[in-house]
Amino acid sequence: MARRREAARGSMPLTELLEAKESKAMSSFGVKDLDTMLRFAPRRYTIPAPLRSLHEVQVGEEMSATVSVVGVTERSMRSRRGSILEVIVSDGIEDITLTFFLAKPHLVAWHRSRLSVGKSVVVRGTVGWNTYANKPQITHPDYEEYEDTPEGLAYAQRPLPVYPLKQNIAQRTMRAATEKGVDFAQYLARPVPAEVISARGLLPLPAAVAKVHLPRTAQDTRDGVAHLVFEEAFVLQAIFAQRRALDARTPAPALQAEGPLQGAFDERLPFELTSGQREIGGQITERVGRDHPTSVLLQGDVGSGKTVIALRAMLRAVDSGHQAALLAPTEVLAEQHYRTITDLLGELSGAGRLDAHADATRVRLLTGSQKTSARRETLLDVTSGQAGIVVGTHALLTESVEFASLALVVIDEQHRFGVDHRRRLRTKGPAGMSPHVVVMTATPIPRTAALATVGDLDVLTLRESPGMRAGVDSFVVPEKSPKWEQRMWARAGEEVTAGRQVFVVCARIDETDEAPAPVILDEDGQISETALEEARGVTATAERLAQRPELAGARLGILHGRLTTEEKQRTMDRVVAGEIDVLVATTVIEVGVDVSNASVMIVLDAERFGVSQLHQLRGRVGRGEHAGIAFLDTRTEPGTETFQRLEGIASAADGFALAELDLQVRGAGDLVGEEQSGLQRTLKHLDVIRDARVIEQAREDAFAVIAADPDLTAHPDLAGAIDNRLRDADPDVERS
């Protein structure tokens, strides 16, 4: 484990630099050293505006203006001792009153001396309303005299940083702290090498942070922040570059055999591979043929045929004398993958059976809920190498499962797969080697977002889908409109009558749940914690639907995460066999459930689901020859932002359009795996949409630096920044 290298500079504790009050204020934001403080950027800046823009200022808003004093009056307070000092200030066109309530005569004298008629001041404060005079006023503003020269005016009009605040912390305290810090800016750690900084035309770090915290102009703030944005992108890309460099030094089994399983499989396939499948398949073949581990993100819309590609790569591993594993996020999906794979392989999967093909391998399913005897047999096959292909959940990696020679790991659905898993994988290969990894995702990530989030993976994209799919039309249904509701259920009923099947997805299991069902609280994070009222859960919804005249005679079933594995399996078997017409379920059916006869997907309380979740859900229907319909049923009102978001989803043609939409709605953090979202969450300055160009530049530079100095011996500040980033992103994890 790489101990954090203490950077020689920059890690200066704030307690040694600031007054107690100031370092305490900073530490309430977790800011404890100079390096962090000077990179803790203001949330925004106030820039003094002329008073004539006052009509644009709302009562209650903070404002500032350069003005001169035109009148001063003082009167005594009625109910208390002391005076009210009213100072009228003007910008030459408009005026406003500054009001001070002052108990002590010496305070009155002090303000009067600084606010005598003719003085130029910049005032800052919150606009209030004087109900007696019926006009705006500023009570107890901050003000500062300035010299009435062009330079003096420019200084008075400088932007002032506005830092985030917490209870009892004054803006003044935050400003004082950073202002002191800027004096020590030459001691900051500088992760970006000076050559890179100057080649990209950026300000050196000390000048940049001075402009961030003590700007003279609005341009200064942009120039200063530009450095911090670049630095953040650079450190992130350096992390990815280092991982790739590590991979390049790690041995992996080179999967180069050309047969016999692959050929026999291709002959068996009941369809032609699309040209996209052949092309991407070829790229994966080339990568797993190398003797260093490859990490590929295979993205393609739901039903685009990723699994077939992955399976061919797995057969290549078996042909090469090794094993391959397929990991699914849930047991239901693992079981389904197992069935799909054994179906596709047929006699090629029956090694040991009489009817098996001469070159057959053995496919094994390993789940936590298997009976001990079955499990022992499976483990034996895994350890002895009899099982060429092993399907399971992520538990395959967390348990002490010993593979004879694991050369390829395929992971279904990247968003549930974290750093922990990937690290464990490194140790699972044969003889100190690391297996190759292919991650499949149906939530494509736009290019620059991918660079910023999964920059250590090679992204391969399947753009076309095999023509078989009939596709899905989506509609948003306002639940408050009875006509729409009736139409929706009637449509579902018609499909049932025509022999098709319907999925109804609920946001939770039932209303007696103390907490929301765990299955719905995944990383999509769109589901609010507010309890759903009666009759919104799976159980109650199924009861309610049994009463709907539109669905009279339909056979209903329920499926959720709290059923036992056998119950779940039995239900899914009945759905596949066509014995259930309407399946009411939680999002357990989100990923991968493949029932080609299903034609209607109804999502209740659709606003509680994330964009990619809804896309996954609607991808469950229209998988076969029958066109699918998805209804996003919501109680939100047409015209609201939420309703419009749902309409956007309904009208987005494919996963790519949605990915863009998703990115705009939520930022990139949720699109990607735990680890990457950790790195994302800790991004302070970088915006993966806005800063696309910066990301590309930083990537080029960071990869060049790492290529020349993989261990960063000549770049201790960069090494330190990387360690800090990784620790912030994933505090519990020891890094190898």
Query: Hey, what are 475's tokens?
Result: 């509609």
Taking CB under 6 A as the binding criterion, the range among 142-150, 273-281, 658-666, 668-676 that sits at the site for ligand ADP is: 273-281
**Phi, psi dihedral angles at 708 (to 5 degrees):** -80, -25
Query: Hey, what are 677's tokens?
Result: 């979202």
Choice from 303, 493, 516, 655 touching ligand ADP (CB under 6 A): 303
Site membership for ligand ADP, residue 468 (CB under 6 A):
yes
Q: Please tell me the distance from the alpha carbon of residue 475 to that of residue 603, in angstroms, as a whole number.
A: 10
Site membership for ligand ADP, residue 411 (CB under 6 A):
no
Tracing tokens 């080179």 back to the chain, one arrives at: 254
Collapsing DSSP to helix, strand or coil, 363 comes out as: strand
Helices (H), ranges, 252-305: 261-268, 275-288
Closest separation in Å from C-beta 343 to ligand ADP:
9
Collapsing DSSP to helix, strand or coil, 334 comes out as: helix
Select from ligand ADP, Mg ion, none the partner in contact with residue 535, using the beta carbon and a kind-dependent cut-off of 5 to 8 Å. Answer: none
Nearer to ligand ADP, 411 or 719 (CB): 411
On whether the CB atoms of residues 475 and 632 are closer than 8 A, the answer is yes
Site residues for Mg ion per CB under 5 A: 307, 592
> 3-state SS of 657-726?
HHHHHHHHHHCHHHHCCHHHHHHHHCCCCCCCCCCHHHHHHHHHHHHHHHHHCCCCCCCHHHHHHHHHHH
Closest separation in Å from C-beta 302 to Mg ion:
7
174, containing H or E segment:
helix 171-182
Tracing tokens 């719905």 back to the chain, one arrives at: 520
Site membership for ligand ADP, residue 367 (CB under 6 A):
no
Site membership for ligand ADP, residue 330 (CB under 6 A):
no
Closest separation in Å from C-beta 307 to Mg ion:
5
Query: Hey, what are 372's tokens?
Result: 């001990």
Site membership for ligand ADP, residue 294 (CB under 6 A):
no
Site membership for ligand ADP, residue 273 (CB under 6 A):
yes
If you ran DSSP here, which 8-state letter would residue 295 be given?
E
Select from Mg ion, ligand ADP, none the partner in contact with residue 161, using the beta carbon and a kind-dependent cut-off of 5 to 8 Å. Answer: none
Taking CB under 6 A as the binding criterion, the range among 88-96, 193-201, 238-246, 296-304 that sits at the site for ligand ADP is: 296-304
Nearer to ligand ADP, 244 or 620 (CB): 620
Q: Please tell me the distance from the alpha carbon of residue 446 to that of residue 3, in angstroms, as a whole number.
A: 35
Closest separation in Å from C-beta 331 to Mg ion:
16
Sign of CA dihedral 50, 54, 56, 62: positive
**Phi, psi dihedral angles at 160 (to 5 degrees):** -110, 130
Q: Please tell me the distance from the alpha carbon of residue 138 to that of residue 529, in angstroms, as a whole number.
A: 41
On whether the CB atoms of residues 22 and 180 are closer than 8 A, the answer is yes
Closest separation in Å from C-beta 306 to Mg ion:
6
Q: Please tell me the distance from the alpha carbon of residue 302 to that of residue 655, in angstroms, as a whole number.
A: 8
Closest separation in Å from C-beta 734 to Mg ion:
34
Taking CB under 6 A as the binding criterion, the range among 99-107, 231-239, 305-313, 492-500 that sits at the site for ligand ADP is: 305-313
Taking CB under 6 A as the binding criterion, the range among 37-45, 188-196, 271-279, 693-701 that sits at the site for ligand ADP is: 271-279
Select from Mg ion, ligand ADP, none the partner in contact with residue 697, using the beta carbon and a kind-dependent cut-off of 5 to 8 Å. Answer: none
Nearer to Mg ion, 63 or 440 (CB): 440
Query: Hey, what are 237's tokens?
Result: 């890309």
Closest separation in Å from C-beta 532 to Mg ion:
30
Q: Please tell me the distance from the alpha carbon of residue 76 to that of residue 660, in angstroms, as a whole number.
A: 63
Site membership for ligand ADP, residue 125 (CB under 6 A):
no
| 120 half-sphere exposure, CB direction, 13 A CA radius | 14
Site membership for ligand ADP, residue 308 (CB under 6 A):
yes
Nearer to ligand ADP, 272 or 402 (CB): 272
Nearer to Mg ion, 226 or 333 (CB): 333
Site membership for ligand ADP, residue 110 (CB under 6 A):
no
Closest separation in Å from C-beta 311 to ligand ADP:
8
Nearer to ligand ADP, 236 or 442 (CB): 442
Q: Which residues inside 225-244 make contact with ligand ADP, applying CB under 6 A?
A: none
Nearer to ligand ADP, 287 or 306 (CB): 306
Site membership for ligand ADP, residue 346 (CB under 6 A):
no
Judged by CB under 6 A, how many residues of this single chain contact ligand ADP? 15
Tracing tokens 């992971």 back to the chain, one arrives at: 411
Select from ligand ADP, Mg ion, none the partner in contact with residue 399, using the beta carbon and a kind-dependent cut-off of 5 to 8 Å. Answer: none
Relative orientation angle of helices 674-681 and 716-729, to the nearest 10 degrees = 110
Choice from 66, 307, 361, 697 touching ligand ADP (CB under 6 A): 307
Site membership for ligand ADP, residue 129 (CB under 6 A):
no
Site membership for ligand ADP, residue 101 (CB under 6 A):
no
Nearer to ligand ADP, 10 or 303 (CB): 303
Q: What angle (nearest 5°) sits at the alpha carbon of residue 670, between those of residues 460 and 565?
A: 85
Nearer to Mg ion, 242 or 307 (CB): 307
Q: Of 242, 213, 671, 705, which Cα lies nearest the Cα of 442?
A: 671
Closest separation in Å from C-beta 428 to Mg ion:
23
Choice from 125, 159, 293, 305 touching ligand ADP (CB under 6 A): 305
Please give the sequence-ordered ranges of beta strands (E in DSSP) within 141-260, or none if there are none: 142-145, 160-162
CA 581 to chain centre: 36
Taking CB under 6 A as the binding criterion, the range among 39-47, 59-67, 265-273, 697-705 that sits at the site for ligand ADP is: 265-273
Choice from 251, 346, 466, 667 touching ligand ADP (CB under 6 A): 466
Q: Please tell me the distance from the alpha carbon of residue 636 to that of residue 621, in angstroms, as a whole number.
A: 24
Q: Is 695 exposed, middle or buried (0-12, 13-18, 19+ CB in 10 A)?
A: buried
Q: Please tell me the distance from the alpha carbon of residue 736 to that of residue 434, in angstroms, as a whole number.
A: 14
Choice from 306, 322, 428, 626 touching ligand ADP (CB under 6 A): 306
Nearer to ligand ADP, 67 or 302 (CB): 302
Nearer to Mg ion, 328 or 527 (CB): 328
398, containing H or E segment:
helix 395-398
Closest separation in Å from C-beta 595 to ligand ADP:
11
Q: Please tell me the distance from the alpha carbon of residue 689 to that of residue 446, in angstroms, as a whole number.
A: 9
Residues in the chain: 736
Closest separation in Å from C-beta 310 to Mg ion:
9
Q: Which residues inside 63-82 make contact with ligand ADP, applying CB under 6 A?
A: none
CB atoms within 10 A of CB 460: 20
Taking CB under 6 A as the binding criterion, the range among 132-140, 297-305, 362-370, 516-524 that sits at the site for ligand ADP is: 297-305
Nearer to ligand ADP, 320 or 443 (CB): 443
Select from ligand ADP, Mg ion, none the partner in contact with residue 466, using the beta carbon and a kind-dependent cut-off of 5 to 8 Å. Answer: ligand ADP
CA 320 to chain centre: 37
Choice from 300, 388, 446, 455 touching ligand ADP (CB under 6 A): 300
Q: What angle (nearest 5°) sits at the alpha carbon of residue 347, between those of residues 389 and 270?
A: 95
CB atoms within 10 A of CB 178: 23
Nearer to ligand ADP, 178 or 274 (CB): 274
Q: Which residues bind ligand ADP (CB under 6 A)?
A: 271-274, 277, 300, 302-308, 466, 468
